[in-house]
A and B are shown apart, each in its own frame.
Chain A
């Protein structure tokens, strides 16, 4: 089994231009499932393809199990990859597809058959072994692609948005299956997705990328609780965190004409800045009675109500400052509707504060 290390690894498509992947430092521990997540163009797929040997590593290095693989061709890196569109060979049956990498490694027929049967059983593909990919559903094809990766018994699994072509229900189901399978096989896995829900639910650790740079690499709870900058704060969580650019006051910040006090250590970290970016997750607002005293609560007017049954999300704009919109989580079966006034107060313990210019977390 293997540890994967990106050591200052860079990919530069055109010399002089901004690197697609910029000095990436990342360690995947043995048996760990790491998710690379980010918006399109963030470099997450490029990073995966560098590990796969499908893109050259222009600077720095990538190591698998301690071995520098910069000059090692894909086939000798002992990796298996699952592609977004599965990349099943259309002229080969399921069994032949799964056996192909083994055959290329010169494994004898008997052992090939044994491994293919074993993997097929694991994935419920036994009845489909003689089918061509064309005659299978999307979910089945996805499993064949998984099977082809499993039979290799590689040191590392690479998965490039393997669920993005499945429908919503299938995606949730397969998500759990992959996580379970990976746990059982305990093979180090690098998983790329643009879907932060997938990242949070599947990853042992999650690396958030943007503009070719690693933003934060942490466990899902830590990403959620202590986002290292405003980008991660806004990217992780749905609906997204409210990020408000607010002026400082003597004890805290002013929001919607109301003084919001800041905890001491945040206030200290903010130092002498005039303005700071304050992040408040939708669930970190407290809904108050609209009769409450004007100085202590923030008044807002509801634009949209998203009723999810167990909870609801209220999209509102501030009464004092109509250009500022906020999202507030409310209870299920909430009584308010479009145009109704609400009064909210942020939970001061759950505030995230960032520098306006750099977006860096304070403290």
Chain B
């Protein structure tokens, strides 16, 4: 073979000189290997260890307590009513925040996808919440915004008779979700804005010439075009938000009780406050399995998105 740099095309090498294929294959693989090996070590080995630990009874505060108990931890997890509550919380928190953020993001993207004075500034203002360190954002919500007596939210709502509402303790899950939605709406907005701007102008012009009004253009052309981007937003938002930890930790500590705890926080509590390695590992495995089920579905959606991209490229 020559020193040709080839584009990714199907079976480019298939007919080529087979003698050199092997060496060439390794030469091509070499730049990839460090990243691949690093990723396997850092991300895969811990998961394998998790499975191993999950079969043991092991509490860090009782040295020497380590023993093999097979599936006892799993049995405990499934009979743990708190765990079920927390799992439900996680679903509500993740999907609720993602869907609200996507809906709001869509409205904002539509607003921003038009020419007006200072559009760049407005966009910059809008994305800022997404950039604020989540720990700082959670602090901000917990104190300055949602404080029952001195918080801005109650101050703004006081004309409507809402003063004195103890948001964090009365509506802990909703409070956490409000902070998450505030942080993630900007991302959805950016994603959907990119979607809107990738819509060919001539399609819209053709529709207008055909006599469609703005609502029917939106419903018949823009929304189908955005579908892929909305799906992508939901999938990506879910991937990132299912791991939410900082916001719960800083705003409510999962409380009261486990009313606002999600799985990351609950496992953290078990592992680092309860020091129960076996239990928390078993929960981790359960979470992985649940996530894998969701991810298979998500990957299928994503695959369509990515392979669509490849074809267009």
Contact = CB atoms under 8 A, between A and B. Distances in A.
State if A and B touch, Cβ cutoff 8 Å: yes
Interface of A: 11-15, 53-56, 58, 71-75
A85 B55 CA distance: 61
Contacts of B11: 13-14
A14 B14 CA distance: 6
Contacts of B17: 56, 71
Contacts of A74: 2-4
A54 to B, nearest CB: 6
A18 to B, nearest CB: 13
Contacts of B1: 56
A77 to B, nearest CB: 9
A13 B4 CA distance: 16
Interface residues of B, number: 11
B15 A58 contact: yes
B63 interface: no
B257 interface: no
Contacts of A72: 2
A72 B4 CA distance: 11
Q: Name the prevailing secondary structure of the B interface residues.
A: loop
A298 to B, nearest CB: 43
A15 B15 contact: yes
Contacts of A54: 2, 4
A85 B12 CA distance: 22
B14 A56 contact: no
Interface in B13-48: 14-17
Contacts of B12: 13
A89 B148 CA distance: 62
Interface of B: 1-4, 10-12, 14-17
Given A11-B15, A15-B15, 7 more contacts: A13-B11, A13-B12, A13-B14, A54-B4, A55-B4, A56-B2, A74-B4
Contacts of A73: 2-4
B2 A53 contact: yes
Contacts of A55: 4
Nearest to B12: A13
Nearest to B9: A13
5 contacts: A11-B15, A14-B10, A14-B11, A56-B1, A58-B16
Contacts of A11: 15
Pick from B2, B14, B17 the residue with the most CB of A within 10 Å.
B2
A12 B12 CA distance: 10
Contacts of A15: 14-15
Residues of A contacting B: mostly: loop
Which of B10, B12, B15 counts the most chain A CB atoms within 10 A? Answer: B15
B3 A13 contact: no
A202 B61 CA distance: 87
The residue in B3, B4, B17 that gathers the most chain A C-beta atoms within 10 A of its C-beta is B4
A101 to B, nearest CB: 14
B24 to A, nearest CB: 12
Nearest to A56: B16
A13 B15 contact: yes
A74 B11 CA distance: 21
A55 B9 CA distance: 12
A12 B15 contact: yes
A242 to B, nearest CB: 37
Contacts of A75: 3
A53 B4 CA distance: 7
Most-contacted residue by chain B among A15, A56, A72 (CB, 10 A) = A56
Contacts of B2: 53-54, 56, 72-74
Contacts of B10: 13-14
Contacts of A58: 15-16
B272 to A, nearest CB: 51
A47 to B, nearest CB: 15
Nearest to B16: A56
Contacts of B16: 56, 58
A74 B3 CA distance: 8
Nearest to B2: A73
Contacts of B14: 13-15
Q: In this complex, which of A11, A13, A72, A74 has the most chain B Cβ atoms within 10 angstroms of its Cβ?
A: A13
A75 B14 CA distance: 23
B19 to A, nearest CB: 11
B21 to A, nearest CB: 11
A12 B15 CA distance: 6
A56 B3 contact: no
Contacts of A14: 10-11, 14-15
Nearest to A19: B15
Nearest to B3: A73
Contacts of A53: 2, 4
A73 to B, nearest CB: 4
A189 to B, nearest CB: 22
Nearest to A49: B4
A74 B4 CA distance: 8
Contacts of B3: 73-75
B173 to A, nearest CB: 52
B243 to A, nearest CB: 40
The 5 nearest A-B residue pairs measured at CB: A73-B2, A58-B15, A12-B15, A56-B16, A53-B2
Nearest to A12: B15
A72 B10 CA distance: 24
A54 B3 CA distance: 9
Nearest to B1: A56
Nearest to B17: A56
B1 to A, nearest CB: 6
A56 B12 CA distance: 9
Nearest to A55: B4
A15 B1 CA distance: 17
A302 to B, nearest CB: 33
Contacts of A71: 17
Contacts of B15: 11-15, 56, 58
